[in-house]
Chains A and B, each alone.
Chain A
């Protein structure tokens, strides 16, 4: 990726090129709806993709104005969001305003967070309070979840529903990257075990096994980066694994999902209902898709969130679906390649923690829906329909961007805060 190359090698206009690619994607998606679907109300699609294009231009301008380096990471977030817009407009075109508001909110969170992270002093000053706030949010999410057992922990504020567990991911990265820094240097096993207990607690209390697994994966990645100790990581992983096994046994709802794993076609109208239809949708679309909005799969419950890979494959084609997966993988590569700053481990660990969350979500979302992993119902970063998930994805992206921007600082020490 261009943003991790030394300054001299970076093509100055690569940012424009990335922007143009994003705009071309928005135009292509609009054209697919407009010419393929012949919608009675084309304004909705013009609004959706026009809004996405405008947001892209705006983000590009902000990026240039604040000298935030190359535009690659941003372009990936925007491209995935454009695909997500296509999914959202395909399944519920009437929600176009909500989609645009959430996209704007996500990008706003992203801009604010990247600018904040850029200020090294600010991060140093606030990382402890934010980490504590994050831990508090986790506890808050657990407590609210406890009151509505079995369901996903939605919270409604001013008519807009939130999934706190999505937003907690941002705080979780803070919590994982900042205060554990010193703790893991001392190899404090109690904190490992406490963290494991927290994840398993999330599993038991929230009945949201997928999200618990996402958190736990990010935790393992961050813990290993800090400690470098296989033994400590293996110990906490096996401790959590054992507790998870007990929890799964105690929860028929989760155990049911495991029992249908790998047998989706046998249980095509029971436990494998969603997976079988995802595979069917993937095969139906072929390489190039049936056309935006022209698929059937979106009518299946949760297709646009938990099985979104199927919607993208069916309507936009396997090439686009694979490209979406590869884009998330590239974000992870960006996170790893950006580890050469001199601002301390926080940026590196935060970037990798954010990337780990995205990768874990990606794997569970795509492979769960395809019956390669157990079906747990987590979201595909940026692409799955859902406001909180989109905002959380942009928030996580900020950590990856911050990592790459801090990489740039090495070449420009005069900018150091």
Chain B
């Protein structure tokens, strides 16, 4: 019998293997359980691949979107729906990078101990302000474009509006061309003069005697055999005045001096031509082309240059924050991480010159109660259309740490058209602080 008992060890061996198998399963569950639970086939929290639990709240705590077994339910307020649909995503999944899909894993409210069991479902509070979003959309006043406002200390996106927009609870008749596009993160536009900030940053880094130089503008000039036109003759000026005057001749010459490769390197380093993500949502890469005859105009943001509003905003928010870029997030409280985009002293120099531009060119009186540093852009788009109007910048007030981008398609002059919208949006944003 003892012999038999010894030989029965094979049974114990199988039992031990089964315990080992449970161990393997436990480790996998611990590591991947959240992904397993968030699988779209999970009928406990999805129906036909759509979430059936959880909700998204605005910064103010208002309900923006709730997921139920009967489908998703947006805010009762139509203006809120129109101004936040690009943040949230739509019912049919036409808008990519919506918060509903970004936070899917969290909305199923999985925990190792409780699984997906939840009485109420998970509520996620977003950094997006519904009031600010509504104000921004109303300031666009039917024009197409994108507006973004971010807290540059935390990276929280306070407002992200893209137009044309549509009502996610509507019957689809209000959907026009481009309505499904989130222009803030997905569309590249000719940047025009806001790109001079990139050229300026490269010049500060690469040209040691930049501040000692004097630049001259007769209204037109020739750089590398290419004729460059300015709005008028700016005469002799220092670099800060050249930026304030947005002198094409100066920045075309700087780009030519720096060369296409250096310019391309900075465009990439500053995030203009590189894709990045906001909580997993992909921001499209812009474009820089300084080859051959394109080089002088490329430094002015014309030619083939393209910038995505979100990337432009990220760049100026890094300028505002001593060169450190707080990772963008749609979540209340932000992502809590940052990375250096620009050397600190260079960021400070760019910031000072942007501030000087507001004082000298845009007029502080046009931004009452605000202390701004900014740059406008009036980007020629050709085809007989009005230029795209840009206005990017930030508040230098420590108590109101926001950066912004306003881009109005065919909006005309950056300073007057986009600048005015920026002021109105920032006045509303100030109420949040």
Contacts and interface: CB of A to CB of B under 8 A. Distances in A.
A276 B41 CA distance: 9
B424 interface: no
A359 interface: yes
B76 interface: no
A280 B3 contact: no
A224 B41 contact: no
Interface stretch (A56-64, A77-85, A192-200, A294-302): A294-302
Contacts of A332: 11-12, 14-15
B412 to A, nearest CB: 51
Contacts of A280: 36-37, 39, 41-42
Contacts of B44: 284, 290, 295-296, 314
Interface string A344-385: 010011001001100110110011001011000000000000
Nearest to B41: A277
B61 interface: no
B196 to A, nearest CB: 49
Interface in A271-304: 276-277, 279-290, 295-297, 299
Interface string B29-71: 1001110110101111100000000000000000000000000
A299 B1 contact: no
B1 A340 contact: yes
A213 to B, nearest CB: 12
A340 B4 CA distance: 9
Contact of B115 (A284, A299, A329, A372): A284
B11 A282 contact: no
Interface stretch (B18-26, B310-318, B377-385): B18-26
A288 B114 contact: yes
B361 to A, nearest CB: 57
Contacts, number: 143
B337 interface: no
A243 B37 CA distance: 40
Contact of A336 (B12, B17, B28, B115): B12
Contacts of B18: 325, 329, 359, 362-363, 366-367
Contacts of A339: 1, 4-5, 8
A150 interface: no
B5 A285 contact: no
Contacts of B43: 296-297, 299
Contacts of A241: none
Contact of B5 (A333, A340, A366, A372): A340
A329 B15 CA distance: 6
A341 B39 CA distance: 52
B394 interface: no
Contacts of B34: 283
Contact of B39 (A276, A333, A340): A276
Contact of B14 (A217, A277, A282, A283): A217
B42 A356 contact: no
A290 B117 contact: yes
A282 B10 contact: no
Given A283-B33, A284-B115, A295-B44, A355 B21 contact: no
Given A224-B7, A329-B19, A283 B1 contact: no
Nearest to A360: B14
B108 to A, nearest CB: 9
A288 B10 CA distance: 33
Contacts of A225: 4, 7-8, 10
B320 to A, nearest CB: 42
Question: What does DSSP make chain B's interface, helix, strand, loop or mixed?
Answer: helix
Contact of B36 (A283, A356, A366): A283
B4 A286 contact: no
A221 B1 contact: no
B4 A345 contact: yes
A314 B41 CA distance: 14
Contacts of B233: none
Of B14, B110, B115, most buried by chain A (CB within 10 Å of CB) is: B115
Given A329-B15, A340-B1, A363 B21 contact: yes
B49 to A, nearest CB: 11
A370 B18 CA distance: 13
B104 to A, nearest CB: 13
B111 interface: yes
B8 A370 contact: no
A221 B21 contact: no
B17 A268 contact: no
Contacts of A299: 43
B78 interface: no
A355 B39 CA distance: 36
A279 to B, nearest CB: 5
B284 interface: no
A284 B42 contact: yes
B306 interface: no
A288 B116 CA distance: 11
A240 B33 CA distance: 37
A355 to B, nearest CB: 5
Interface string B351-382: 00000000000000000000000000000000
A286 B11 contact: no
B207 interface: no
A224 B3 CA distance: 11
Nearest to A318: B29
Interface in A217-234: 217, 220-221, 224-225, 228
Contacts of B4: 225, 339, 345, 348-349
Contacts of B8: 225, 335-336, 339, 348, 352
Of A276, A281, A290, A366, most buried by chain B (CB within 10 Å of CB) is: A281
A137 B158 CA distance: 74
B7 A279 contact: no
Nearest to B111: A286
Interface in B80-135: 110-117
B41 to A, nearest CB: 6
A359 B11 contact: yes
Nearest to A282: B29
A253 interface: no
Given A282-B36, A296-B42, A296-B43, A335 B11 contact: yes
A-B complex: 5 closest residue pairs judged by Cβ atoms: A286-B115, A296-B43, A283-B36, A283-B37, A283-B33
Given A282-B29, A287-B112, A288-B117, 11 more contacts: A228-B7, A279-B39, A280-B36, A280-B41, A289-B117, A296-B42, A296-B44, A333-B12, A335-B8, A345-B4, A372-B25
9 contacts: A228-B7, A280-B37, A283-B29, A283-B115, A284-B42, A286-B111, A296-B42, A340-B1, A356-B11
